[in-house]
Amino acid sequence: MNNNPNMAIECSIGNCAHHCSGQNYCSLSKIVVGTHEANPQKPECVDCKSFMLRQ
């Protein structure tokens, strides 16, 4: 995966394939944000749909 940090997308999910190791940034140029709730009301209801488990 690309390890160039996108300074516009902060991320602390170290086991994501798009996470820049040693930095709290995503390497993607854009991400998809979604929800697993019918009517999200809290930050916990929002998900990064671009997440991909690091192998």
- Model confidence pLDDT, tens digit, residues 31-49: 999 999 999 999 999 999 9
Is the model's pLDDT at 1 over the cut of 80?
A: no
27/36 Cα distance (integer angstroms): 24
- 18-31 pLDDT, tens digit per residue, is 999 889 999 999 99
Contact between residue 9 and residue 19 where contact means Cβ atoms under 8 Å apart: no
Give the residue carrying structure tokens 């996470």.
19
**pLDDT at residue number 3:** 81
The first and second tokens of residue 10, run together, are 């902060």
Query: The pTM is what?
Result: 0.84
